Chain A
Amino acid sequence: DGGITQSPKYLFRKEGQNVTLSCEQNLNHDAMYWYRQDPGQGLRLIYYSQIVNDFQKGDIAEGYSVSREKKESFPLTVTSAQKNPTAFYLCASSRTGSEKLFFGSGTQLSVL
């Protein structure tokens, strides 16, 4: 079945630690996105990539980094510079130029 797979489902970060969230898609989509969801708030765009080896900052990129070495994969690293990392992180993909995003099932990141 085609879809987007995020892992792990739950992740805990210690003080000063970098953690990486995985996102893999087999939909053959060129564009991939990372969103952050906080309780009671809408989805905020962290980073997006429209093609391999290229990505752009979204609205809240500070404290995060990404890479896009393969079309299928768009990992997100939450660095120690992100002082409030506790949130639900959603990865999405779409065909180039399409407004229809397909989402993964999310990763809940918490701070120990």
Chain B
Amino acid sequence: GQQLNQSPQSMFIQEGEDVSMNCTSSSIFNTWLWYKQEPGEGPVLLIALYKAGELTSNGRLTAQFGITRKDSFLNISASIPSDVGIYFCAGQLRGNMLTFGGGTRLMVKP
């Protein structure tokens, strides 16, 4: 089946630093989504991307749909302690179920 490789697996950064993470696939997707999961909770949708090359922002978060349709990137600018959590990418190919990446665990040092 389809697989999503998400990297890095974990990051430990200083408050105020910018963060970049990415997700790559062996297959193309029509839709990319980014979710954030806080400890003991369910994931919450951050950004949805629908078109190759699309760049979308949500506050300090910016995500891009790769032009090959096989990758996506998420950047967080000026990180703050509440950014802590696990960030998941997910891809969908035209009505099929979502495929999730393994997650990037972000830790922020005040």
**Bound complex: CA of A104 vs CA of B31, how far in Å?**
22
Across the A-B interface, how many residue pairs have beta carbons closer than 8 Å?
A: 52
**Bound complex: CA of A41 vs CA of B97, how far in Å?**
17
Stretch at the interface among A12-20, A65-73, A75-83, A94-102: A94-102
Q: Which of B4, B41, B97 contacts A45 (CB 8 A)?
A: B97
Q: Which of A43, A99, A100, A102 contacts B100 (CB 8 A)?
A: A43
- Most chain A CB within a 10 A radius of its CB, from B9, B40, B95, B101: B40
A63 sits at the interface (CB 8 A): no
A106 sits at the interface (CB 8 A): yes
**Bound complex: CA of A86 vs CA of B92, how far in Å?**
28
B44 sits at the interface (CB 8 A): yes
| A interface, CB within 8 angstroms of B | 4, 6, 33, 35, 40-45, 48, 58-59, 90, 92, 97, 99-106, 108
